[in-house]
Amino acid sequence: MADTFQFELVAPEKLIFSDDIEFVVVPGAEGDFGVLPGHALLLSTVRPGIIEIHENDKPKERFFVGGGFAEVTPERCTVLSTESVNLAEIDESAARARLDTAERDLNDAASDGEREKAEKALEVAQALVAACS
């Protein structure tokens, strides 16, 4: 068996995934980064995008994350996400409706705080629609 490390994907409401894996790709704020067993210590923000869990050099599981934080040690990678969903469970029409709502909310934003919140929601909705493609 190949070398593995513990990977956990946690959403606010529950543990989404927890298992020993060979390789994972995380959408970091500065770009995607891969984690293998023995990885150097790393803390990173996570941008909206897709987490890919690989087994035998092929993607095994894919999850959409709305953002969050990642902590990597040589033995473990933990992603604390703002939202997570298995890519296979995403409804493309619902994702497009979410994007329409986010665009409307941004156009209707009356204050800087509302605009900032709407821009973040739009970023997540755009990434979700892109993940469906």
Q: Tell me what pLDDT residue 106 has.
A: 93
Whether 5 and 37 have beta carbons less than 8 Å apart is answered as: yes
Mean predicted lDDT score pLDDT of the chain: 94
Q: What is the pLDDT of residues 43-54, one digit of tens each?
A: 999 999 999 999
- Label residue 2 by pLDDT band (50, 70, 90): low
Query: Amino acid letter at 93?
Result: S
Q: Tell me what pLDDT residue 103 has.
A: 95
Q: Tell me what pLDDT residue 57 has.
A: 84
Q: Tell me what pLDDT residue 105 has.
A: 93
By DSSP bridging, strand 58-65 and strand 49-55 are antiparallel
Q: Tell me what pLDDT residue 1 has.
A: 45
CA distances, 107 to each of 7, 14, 56, 98, 125 (Å): 39, 33, 46, 14, 15
3-state secondary structure of 113: helix
Q: What is the pLDDT of residues 53-72, one digit of tens each?
A: 999 888 999 999 999 999 99
Question: Averaged over 15-35, what is the pLDDT?
Answer: 96
**What kind and span of H or E run contains 129?**
helix 112-132
pLDDT of residue 84 exceeding 60, the answer is yes
- Label residue 133 by pLDDT band (50, 70, 90): confident
Residue holding tokens 């946690």?
10
Question: Averaged over 69-83, what is the pLDDT?
Answer: 97
- Going by the DSSP 8-state scheme, the letter that residue 30 receives in this structure is T
Q: Tell me what pLDDT residue 114 has.
A: 93
